[in-house]
Chain A
């Protein structure tokens, strides 16, 4: 059991890094903007659908990623507009977009619920000049690691700008945003746009790595990403000088480690969503129990 777990550790780490991009996006809405955004269940596969379809049409892998990111941004923009301009509740705005995106994703793939990318097609991880230079076993690890690191640094830089401060303020205390003479609705729209761009990018990268798009791959994205965010932030809360972005990346990797461990223990991939749900519940419940202990003490 332990040996299978250790044997799969490198691929677990790869998976963790690939999903860390998703977790960064969810961190932006949930932790920073304080917005429970279910759009991600639709924008994650949206990224996959756009990127996979474009690759099959002979697009360059990077161009396909960029297009997927822009489509994700557009989805986030719609959720933001629905929430802010039409005053629909946060949760419902996300559900509406998530539902709409399911059909839109099928439209993008031309009605195919399943798309696979041939071995010969150039993706971010194979058949391109950079990937060819890297040792075969380490390609995914290195490329996804570089991508995650670059996005983390960019996000950290953004959060330290004037616009970044305003975004953090919007999730912290909307009244302050109004006091600063800014429309809090617009700030939220910008945050949702950025977050869903990241989520769609993550979906695109995941599809390029597994060379497969599947229309229902988005189910549970929100819970999975949120679990990563909460694991990371809760575990590293006491460690000084660790940025939220770092904590979230660590959380995404740890989440995949937990899942790999569950599989090594004999659970089938069929049980994965159940494991995700149980893990998420355990994290939330442990937080509540800890608070209770504190209150009782």
Chain B
């Protein structure tokens, strides 16, 4: 279980630009749950992810992972259990390294980073098979540099790399926002399959209301640091696009968007 307890977060405290974002915000995501989070700009979605992943410290409150307090744990240590896919496809892979080397790097995550060969040749068939499942032809271009791939291909590679690593939690930070609609559909489909097959607990922040509605078993709509809508399972299945849009427009109008 991933838990935020009584989180406070204020930006630029003590200045004229002071913005109180979170005031006693709490959220609990059950094991195996796939949570979609939508909300207007500045609603606190990304701040929430940054606090979860450790790139931002809350002013008050706790972050708990399977009951363990990780509020002050360093980002790279949390990354051993939490994988994160970014909006910018360039952030998930090493551009100057080949697809094979990127996969090797991810496969080494569970091992000691010592002087053994970086690429374990006996694992290559597995990597090729995992890449083949994407249906993007990446398995036939193992020696291509990741930087030469399209945004969709790079995002697919980043997803596959996180599949290789031993994590239980997956954080998706608007990971389809920078892709064209077709690539976004492919990546979303892959994400869903990966979460289901590996039994991951996932939190997906998205601007795409359709994705939020179609995927995942819980939906959260955020506004000014609060959850204005929180539906799950049956309740979420009953939720219609029109209801979601109406609510989203209400909060957007309120913000002057």
Contact = CB atoms under 8 A, between A and B. Distances in A.
Q: Do A and B bind each other?
A: yes
Interface of A: 158, 160-166, 168-169, 172-173, 175-184
Nearest to A32: B96
Contact of B118 (A162, A180, A182): A162
Interface on chain A toward B: helix, strand, loop, or mixed SS? helix
Contacts of B162: 179
Interface string B210-239: 000000000000000000000000000000
Given A169-B105, A173-B94, A164 B76 contact: no
A164 B84 CA distance: 23
Nearest to B55: A178
A89 B68 CA distance: 35
B94 to A, nearest CB: 4
B83 A168 contact: no
21 contacts: A160-B119, A161-B114, A161-B116, A162-B108, A162-B111, A162-B118, A163-B113, A163-B115, A166-B113, A168-B94, A168-B96, A168-B97, A172-B95, A172-B97, A173-B91, A175-B91, A176-B91, A179-B84, A179-B92, A180-B105, A181-B77
B95 A173 contact: yes
B101 A180 contact: no
B209 to A, nearest CB: 28
B56 interface: no
Given A180-B108, A180-B109, A181-B80, A162 B114 contact: yes
B93 A176 contact: yes
B232 to A, nearest CB: 29
B86 interface: yes
B74 to A, nearest CB: 7
Contacts of B115: 158, 161-163
B75 A178 contact: yes
A103 to B, nearest CB: 36
A173 B90 contact: yes
Contacts of A175: 86, 91-92
Contacts of A177: 76
B230 to A, nearest CB: 29
Contacts, number: 81
A165 B91 CA distance: 17
B246 interface: no
| From A160, A163, A164, A179, residue with most partner B Cβ within 10 Å | A179
Interface residues of B, number: 34
B112 interface: yes
Contact of B96 (A172, A180, A181): A172
A160 B105 contact: no
Contacts of A158: 115
Contacts of A163: 113-115
Contacts of B119: 160
B117 A162 contact: yes
Given A165-B101, A165-B118, A182 B94 contact: no
Interface string B69-85: 00000111101100110
Given A162-B116, A162-B117, A181 B105 contact: no
A179 B97 contact: no
Contacts of A179: 79, 83-84, 92, 162
Interface in B13-37: none
Contacts of B112: 162
A178 B86 CA distance: 13
Contacts of B165: 180
A176 B76 contact: no
Given A173-B93, A176-B105, A179-B92, A162 B113 contact: yes
Contacts of B111: 162
B106 interface: yes
B80 A161 contact: no
Nearest to B86: A175
Contacts of A183: 74, 76
B104 interface: yes
Nearest to A157: B115
The 3 closest A-B pairs by CB, nearest first: A181-B80, A165-B118, A172-B94
B148 to A, nearest CB: 14
A273 B87 CA distance: 46
B86 A180 contact: no
Nearest to B74: A183
Given A179-B83, A183-B76, 12 more contacts: A158-B115, A160-B118, A161-B115, A162-B114, A165-B104, A165-B105, A169-B97, A172-B97, A173-B90, A173-B94, A180-B76, A180-B105
